[in-house]
Structure 1
C-alpha cells in the first residue's frame, strides 16, 4: 500500500514543464498588463469628440470637414454654446467673430480636450490673421488645476472595491453580515475618498455630501460586483473581477483625458465598467451639477444590483449544496446504525 508523504519529507522537485509553464505564464501576464495600461494612452487622440461652433452655416460646415476627430455642432450664439457645455453635451466651443476665433472650454470636463480646443482656435485665428482668446467656464480648483486627483482615482477605486470584498469574504462568514459590511465600507469609503480629494488634494470644490453619495455608489457597485462573482464562481470569479476592474476598468476609464480620446470602441467600453463610470459621475456631480451623470448612475446601479443578485444566487446554491451534503451524511449514518443494530 502506498504511503502518504509525511510533513517532514523533502518537497517534490517541480518538473521542467511546470517551471517553463510558470515562466511563460508570468511573461504573458506582464505583457497583458503593459498592453492594457499603455496601449490606450499610446493611441490617445480625438475620436468624435463633441464640440460646438458659433459661426455661419458655411463656416461651420467648413470647420466640420477640417476638424478630423471632432463631432461639430453649430450653435447660434455663445450663450447657447455655454449652455451645451454646462449640460455636458459638448466639451467646448469655437466662437468665430470676424477674423477672431475664441475658445470656450470647461477644463474640469477634460484638460486634454480643453487644450486641444484652445490650440485649434489659435491655429484657425492664425490663418485668418485674427486673434484668439480662451475662456474657461469651469475649471478645477487652484490646488489641483489639472485634476490629477481624479485622474489617479481609477486604480484606487478598482483595487479598493476588490480588496474590500476580499477582506469581507475572509473575515465575515454569514451572508447578511457580509452585505452589511459591504454597505458600511461603501459609505465610509465614499466619505473618506471625497474628503481626501476635497480637503487634502484639492480636486473637488463642490458639495461634499452630494459628491460623497456619488462616491458611495461607485464603491458599492465595485464591492458588490466582486462579492457576487466570488460567491457564485469562486476563484474564477475573482479572476473575472480582476480583469474587468483592474486590467480593463482602470486604463479604459478615460479619467486622464476623456473617453472620446481613447481608441474606438475602448472609450465607450470603459464607461460601462465601474472605474470609468464612477470617475465620470464624480466629475459630473462635482463640477456640472449632475448634468450628464444619468448614464453613469444607471451603469453603476446595474453593477450593484447585478452583483447583489449574483451574491444571493451563490449563497442559495451553496446552501442547497450544503443541505444535500448534510442529508447524505445523515442517510449514511442512519444506514450504519441500522447495520450495526442488525449485527
Structure 2
C-alpha cells in the first residue's frame, strides 16, 4: 500500500518537474485567413507579403508630394524693409488688403543689415525704400527670387512707387544652373544612407552592432565617392569641390544609415516605412530645396528644422554658392542622428532578442516567415526537377552538378516505379486482409486464394507499369 502511494507520488513529482521545465508550447491555432494564405503557392505568398510597399509608396507620394505642392502659396514670406517704421506698416497694410497672410514685412535699420540677412537666409528678400531696390539671392532659393518681385511689386504703390524696382541679386546662379543640384544631390545622399541600413536591418538581423556600423560606413564611403565623382569632374554640375562633397556626403550617409539601423531593431522588415518617411517623403518637401519653406503647408514648415533634407541643402548651398545659414545647423543634425542611431542600437538589440525569444516560446511565426520557409523548400524541389529534366543532378557530397548517365537515368525510373508499386501493394494487402485474408506480394501477385475483392484491377495496373518500364528500357 505504502509502496503504491510512494510510486504515485514519485510519478506526480516527476510530472511536475517536467511541467516546470517546459519552455515551449504548441503554437496557437492559425486563423482561417492564415490557413488560406498558407495554402497558396509559396512564391505567391512571397509576392503578396510585399504588396504593402507599392500601396504605401503610392499613398505617401500623393500626400507628401502632390498635396503640398498643389497647395503651395506664400505664407508670411519674410521680407525686410529698409526705411521708417511707418513705411513698413504702410506696406504691410497694403499687403494684407491684397492677399492677407502672404507677406510679413520686417523693418531693418540699414542696407548692410538687409544684405546680410538675405544672404544668410533669414529673409526671403528685402526692399530699400530710398533706392527703390529689391534685394534677393537667387542661389539661395531660385524659386523665391522669381516669386518675390511678383508679390512685392503690387504693394509698392502704397508708397507712391509705381515703377518696377531694381533687383540687386547678391548671389546669382552660375550659367546653366537652375539651382536644383543641391536638392537632387541631397536625395542621392539620403538614398545612399537609408538603403544600406535598410538592407542591413532586413537581412542582417543577427549581426553584431560593430559589423552593422562597419557595413554602413563602408557603403557610405563608396557611394559618397561615386556621387562626388559623377557630380563634379564627370558632369560638372558642381565644380571645384570634389573632396568636400565626398566628405560631406560620407558623413551624411553614415548619419542617416546609423539612425535607420537603430530604428530597424524595433520595426523589423517594415524598416522601409520610417526610413522613407524620414529621408524621402517628409524630407524633400520640408527641405526648402524645391520651393521656399514659407510656401509649403504649415506642417512641413514645422518639421523643416529636424529633417535631414533641410540640413543637407543648407550645407551644400553654403559650400557651393556661399549663401545660406551656414554649417552649424547641419553639424548639429548630423550629431543628433548619429547619437540617436547609437542609442537605439544599444537598446534595440536586446529588445529584438527578447521579442524573438517570446515568439519562439509562444510558437508564433509571421506570414512572411512561413512564406520564406515554404518558398525555400519548394525552390529546392523545383531545382531538382529542372536539373533532372535535363539529365543533371546535384552531388550531395560537394554540391557539384553532375550529368546523369543514360543507364542510371533508366535505373532511377525503375526504382521510382518499384517504389510506387510497393506503396500500392501495401494498401492493397490491407484491403485484401480486411475483405477475406488475401495477401498481395511485393510483385503484385496474390499469394493465396480469397474472395473477389477488386484486386484484379490492381494486378492489371502492375502489369501495365511493368510493360511501360520495359518499353522505356528498350528505347
2:188 counterpart of 1:156: yes
Which residue number in structure 2 is paired with residue 104 of structure 1?
A: 135
Deviation of the 1:113 alpha carbon = 1.2
Q: Would the alpha carbon gap of residues 217 and 57 (structure 1) be closer, same or farther in structure 2, given more than 3 Å must change?
A: same
Q: Deviations over 1:242-284 (max 9, x none)?
A: 3332332233332101222211131231331222332233223
Larger radius of gyration: 2
Structure 1 unaligned residues grouped into runs of 5+: 1-10, 326-343
Asked if structure 1 preserves the Cα contact closer than 8 Å seen for 2:193 and 2:254, the reply is: yes
Give the SS at the match of 1:250: helix
Which residue number in structure 2 is paired with residue 260 of structure 1?
A: 294
Q: Which residue of the other structure, out of 61, 65, 69, is the alignment partner of 2:89? A: 61
Which residue number in structure 2 is paired with residue 95 of structure 1?
A: 128
Asked if structure 2 preserves the Cα contact closer than 8 Å seen for 1:101 and 1:121, the reply is: no
Asked if structure 2 preserves the Cα contact closer than 8 Å seen for 1:88 and 1:288, the reply is: no
Q: Would the alpha carbon gap of residues 227 and 71 (structure 1) be closer, same or farther in structure 2, given more than 3 Å must change?
A: same
Q: Deviations over 1:225-256 (max 9, x none)?
A: 11111134322434322333233223333210
Asked if structure 2 preserves the Cα contact closer than 8 Å seen for 1:152 and 1:256, the reply is: no
Asked if structure 1 preserves the Cα contact closer than 8 Å seen for 2:187 and 2:280, the reply is: yes
Asked if structure 2 preserves the Cα contact closer than 8 Å seen for 1:164 and 1:185, the reply is: yes
Which residue number in structure 2 is paired with residue 117 of structure 1?
A: 148
Which residue number in structure 2 is paired with residue 138 of structure 1?
A: 171
Deviation of the 1:116 alpha carbon = 1.9
Structure 2 unaligned residues grouped into runs of 5+: 1-37, 96-100, 360-475
Q: 1:1-343, aligned counterparts within 5 Å?
A: 12-13=39-40, 30-67=58-95, 68-97=101-130, 101-124=132-155, 128-144=161-177, 146-169=178-201, 170=203, 173-204=207-238, 207-288=241-322, 291-317=325-351
Could you state the TM-score of these two structures normalised by the residue count of structure 1? Answer: 0.75
Cα distance in 2, alignment partners of residues 39 and 134 from structure 1: 32
Cα distance in 2, alignment partners of residues 191 and 245 from structure 1: 20
Give the SS at the match of 1:251: helix
Asked if structure 2 preserves the Cα contact closer than 8 Å seen for 1:93 and 1:117, the reply is: no
Provide the aligned length of Structure 1 versus Structure 2.
309
Give the SS at the match of 1:256: coil
Q: Would the alpha carbon gap of residues 113 and 201 (structure 1) be closer, same or farther in structure 2, given more than 3 Å must change?
A: farther
Cα distance in 2, alignment partners of residues 289 and 20 from structure 1: 49
Asked if structure 2 preserves the Cα contact closer than 8 Å seen for 1:221 and 1:274, the reply is: no
Q: Would the alpha carbon gap of residues 72 and 197 (structure 1) be closer, same or farther in structure 2, given more than 3 Å must change?
A: farther
Asked if structure 1 preserves the Cα contact closer than 8 Å seen for 2:198 and 2:271, the reply is: no
Deviation of the 1:66 alpha carbon = 3.2
Asked if structure 1 preserves the Cα contact closer than 8 Å seen for 2:133 and 2:167, the reply is: yes
